[in-house]
């Protein structure tokens, strides 16, 4: 077997060209070039070829003076290797050069192509403006229009490692085949890296690291752009880590779960302020994990927009800081979205459509946070928590389908520090439920269950003063249960609200003073159970149907009022008032009606 070795050293102030072309196995090329406007072209055909490692034996350590190095500005490097087990690698570092140094200086370009299996590229560029910098890509811009610096590898088991030190550098890496790996490290500002693994690859990995955080925040690295794409394959991983501010990460995967393979996964970590994540995952059984921010002071205005199409996907997102925004879209069945936000004025929007048996969980700790949720299909589940001093929080959403569940908690569990929170939720389907817990004052819970639905349930607990409940149910055998503790609270189950089906039931318990219940039930076999404990409380009950309507009202305290009307056959109203200065007024129209009123001081 033949081995051919080229060792060249060129040093010129203005212009230098070096080229090497070999066909055969185990060839080796080393070129050292200094100056400006230099050009190196290397073409190696065969297997086991080496570009950039000095010496005639693989064990010989390369040196700066005897390896593939371009030291200057406006340098051009083109390497083509055809065959298997080829290597392109720079030199180990010394006191003045970083490891695997290939190009040092400004405005350099490198193009490396390997078309065989088990090939390796290790490239380092130091300086600024290497490649063609596209200012529109940095600071949350768009994708690069093309690769100026590029590594192309066209077969399986290949690896590319890139290190760029300096500002405004750009590089693209493209791989076709399975079990390939890309590792990119860029430091400083305004760098761009795009890595693509295509052609139905599997078991591929892409790792991109950009920037650093320093003190103070104003000196953070910023404006970096990372793009990672894996197409039509399984068991692959993307990992992007960005430190600093105004960075953008774009991650895209497509594929499906295959027997014997693990799932595709995306991991993004951004530490700083004003960062953005954009991405999508297509197939089944894919996973995405993303974290933004490290503190409330230095991690504001971050955004995540991510879409998963398919089934059995999972996504977990964490944001820390103020003014963050998260939007998640999942289509298919058995998907899972979990979001945590820490800070103020954050928003979380989730859409799980065209499927069923999906789950979303949102946790927000802070003030003036917002949740907006949408689910279609059967068997969906949503849970939201706005905790701590969660004043001014809003949860709104829609569920369309049967056997679905929503649970919302707002405020401290013990304490009155959470005020002005709002829940507004609509459900269209049978056998669905909404459960709301609000701790604090001036909170509002509004529920709508509609569409001719049956056997729906609403349960609301409020602790604090001046809280409001409004409920509308339009199906049969629906159930409303409200428990309020505090003063000047109200329950509106009347007017535009109320129960408009058969066999509906409303149960209301209020403890405190100045509380109000308005109940409106239309159709047959309706039931109201209302209990008020305290002074100056008020209950109005209206039941309208053709069969049995039942109202049981109990008031304990002074100055309470109860008003009611029942229209229909076999209606029953029982009012019990214990205390002083209470009043009860009742009207019945129909056959077989019964009214029982007891008033007095309870001993």
Tokens of 482: 């409200």
pLDDT tops 70 at residue 491: yes
pLDDT tops 60 at residue 143: no
On whether residue 256 sits in a domain, the answer given is no
Residue 408 confidence class, pLDDT cut points 50, 70, 90? very high
pLDDT tops 60 at residue 165: yes
Mean of pLDDT values over 357-365? 96
Contacts 24+ apart (CB under 8 A), 43-46: 43/19, 43/80, 44/20, 44/79, 44/80, 44/81, 44/82, 44/83, 44/86, 45/81, 45/82, 45/83, 46/22, 46/82, 46/83
Mean of pLDDT values over 497-505? 90
Tokens of 50: 């080496």
Greatest mean pLDDT range, 49-58, 153-162, 208-217, 314-323: 314-323
Mean of pLDDT values over 2-27? 46
> Per the structure, how many domains does the chain have?
1
Residue 511 confidence class, pLDDT cut points 50, 70, 90? very high
Residue 348 confidence class, pLDDT cut points 50, 70, 90? very high
On whether residue 97 sits in a domain, the answer given is no
Q: CA-to-CA distance for 582 and 563, rounded, in angstroms?
A: 11
Q: CA-to-CA distance for 501 and 524, rounded, in angstroms?
A: 7
On whether residue 488 sits in a domain, the answer given is yes
**Structure confidence by residue, pLDDT tens digits, 255-290:** 765 544 468 999 999 988 899 999 999 988 899 999
- Judge if the upstream peptide bond of residue 395 is cis by omega within 30 degrees of 0: no
On whether residue 55 sits in a domain, the answer given is no
Pairing of strands 248-254, 276-284: parallel
Q: CA-to-CA distance for 328 and 233, rounded, in angstroms?
A: 23
pLDDT tops 60 at residue 18: no
Residue 453, number of CB atoms within 10 A of its CB: 21
Q: Which domain holds residue 502?
A: 465-603
The answer to whether residues 250 and 226 touch, using CB atoms and an 8 Å cutoff, is yes
Higher pLDDT, 364 or 199: 364
Tokens of 202: 């599997």
Q: CA-to-CA distance for 94 and 235, rounded, in angstroms?
A: 38
Q: CA-to-CA distance for 486 and 363, rounded, in angstroms?
A: 26
pLDDT tops 90 at residue 152: no
Q: CA-to-CA distance for 390 and 469, rounded, in angstroms?
A: 19
Q: What is the largest CA-CA distance in the chain?
A: 113
Residue 98, number of CB atoms within 10 A of its CB: 16
pLDDT tops 50 at residue 294: yes
**Burial, 458: exposed, middle or buried (Cβ in 10 Å; 0-12, 13-18, 19+)?**
buried
Question: CA angle 274-279-284, nearest 5°?
Answer: 145
pTM for the model: 0.86
Give the pLDDT of residue 136. Answer: 43
On whether residue 602 sits in a domain, the answer given is yes
Cα 57 to the center of its chain, rounded Å: 51
Residue 128 confidence class, pLDDT cut points 50, 70, 90? low
On whether residue 503 sits in a domain, the answer given is yes
The answer to whether residues 31 and 39 touch, using CB atoms and an 8 Å cutoff, is no
**Burial, 386: exposed, middle or buried (Cβ in 10 Å; 0-12, 13-18, 19+)?**
buried
The answer to whether residues 408 and 447 touch, using CB atoms and an 8 Å cutoff, is no
With tokens 């700066």, the residue in question is: 64
The answer to whether residues 548 and 527 touch, using CB atoms and an 8 Å cutoff, is no
Question: What is the residue-averaged pLDDT of the chain?
Answer: 81
pLDDT tops 80 at residue 359: yes
Q: CA-to-CA distance for 479 and 3, rounded, in angstroms?
A: 85
- Judge if the upstream peptide bond of residue 148 is cis by omega within 30 degrees of 0: no
On whether residue 450 sits in a domain, the answer given is no
**Structure confidence by residue, pLDDT tens digits, 545-592:** 767 789 999 999 999 999 998 887 778 889 999 988 889 888 888 776
Residue 30 confidence class, pLDDT cut points 50, 70, 90? low
The answer to whether residues 60 and 88 touch, using CB atoms and an 8 Å cutoff, is no
On whether residue 514 sits in a domain, the answer given is yes
Give the pLDDT of residue 34. Answer: 66
């Amino acid at each position: 077997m033949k081995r051919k070795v080229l060792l060249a050293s060129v040093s010129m102030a203005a212009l230098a060209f070096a080229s090497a072309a070999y066909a055969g196995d185990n060839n080796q090329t080393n070129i050292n070039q200094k100056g400006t406007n230099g050009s190196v072209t290397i073409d190696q055909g065969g297997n086991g070829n080496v570009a950039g490692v000095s010496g005639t034996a693989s064990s010989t350590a390369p040196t700066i003076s005897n390896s593939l190095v371009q030291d200057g500005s406006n340098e051009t490097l083109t390497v083509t290797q055809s065959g298997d087990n080829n290597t392109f690698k720079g030199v180990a570092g010394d006191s003045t050069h970083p490891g695997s140094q290939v190009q040092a200086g400004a405005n350099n370009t490198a193009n490396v192509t390997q078309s065989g299996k088990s090939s390796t590229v290790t490239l380092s560029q130091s300086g600024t403006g290497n490649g063609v910098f596209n200012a529109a890509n940095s600071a949350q811009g768009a994708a690069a229009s093309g690769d100026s610096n590029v590594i192309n590898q066209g077969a399986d088991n290949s690896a590319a490692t890139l290190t760029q030190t300096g500002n405004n550098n750009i590089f693209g890496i493209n791989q076709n085949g399975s079990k390939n790996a890309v590792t990119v490290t860029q430091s400083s500002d305004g760098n761009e890296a795009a890595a693509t693994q295509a052609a139905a690859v599997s078991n591929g990995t892409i790792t991109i690291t950009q920037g650093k955080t320093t003190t103070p925040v104003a000196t953070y690295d910023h404006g970096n752009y990372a793009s990672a794409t894996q197409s039509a394959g399984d068991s692959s991983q993307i990992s992007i880590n960005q430190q600093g501010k105004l960075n953008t990460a774009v991650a895209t995967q497509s594929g499906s779960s295959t027997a014997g393979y693990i799932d595709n996964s995306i991991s993004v970590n951004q530490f700083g302020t004003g960062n953005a994540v954009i991405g999508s995952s297509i197939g089944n059984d894919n996973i995405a994990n993303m974290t933004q921010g490290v503190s409330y002071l230095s991690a504001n205005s971050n955004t995540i927009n991510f879409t998963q199409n398919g089934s059995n996907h999972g996504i977990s997102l964490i944001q820390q800081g103020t003014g963050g925004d998260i939007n998640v879209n999942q289509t298919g069945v058995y998907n899972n979205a979990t979001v945590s936000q820490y800070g103020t004025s954050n928003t979380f929007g989730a859409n799980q459509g065209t499927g069923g048996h999906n789950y979303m969980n949102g946790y927000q700790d802070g003030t003036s946070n917002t949740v907006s949720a949408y689910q279609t299909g059967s068997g969906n589940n949503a849970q939201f928590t706005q905790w701590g001093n969660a004043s001014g929080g809003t949860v709104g959403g829609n569920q369309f389908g049967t056997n679905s569940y929503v649970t919302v908690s707002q405020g401290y569990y013990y304490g009155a520090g959470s005020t002005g929170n709002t829940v507004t939720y609509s459900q269209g389907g049978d056998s669905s439920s909404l459960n709301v817990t609000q701790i604090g004052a001036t909170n509002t819970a509004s529920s709508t269950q509609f569409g001719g639905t049956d056997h729906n349930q609403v349960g609301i607990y409020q602790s604090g003063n001046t809280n409001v409940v409004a409920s509308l149910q339009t199906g049969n055998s629906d159930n409303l249960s409200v428990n309020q503790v505090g003063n000047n609270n109200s329950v509106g189950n009347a007017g535009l609200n109320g129960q408009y089906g058969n066999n509906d039931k409303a149960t209301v318990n209020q403890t405190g003073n100045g509380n109000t219940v308005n109940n409106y039930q239309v159709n047959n076999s309706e039931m109201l159970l209302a209990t008020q404990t305290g002074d100056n409380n008020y209950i109005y009950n209206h039941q309208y149907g053709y069969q049995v309507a039942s109202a049981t009202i109990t008031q304990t305290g002074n100055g309470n009022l109860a008003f009611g009307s029942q229209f229909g056959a076999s209606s029953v109203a029982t009012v019990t008032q214990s205390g002083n200065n209470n009043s009860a007024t009742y009207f019945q129209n129909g056959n077989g009606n019964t009214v029982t009123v007891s008033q007095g001081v309870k001993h």
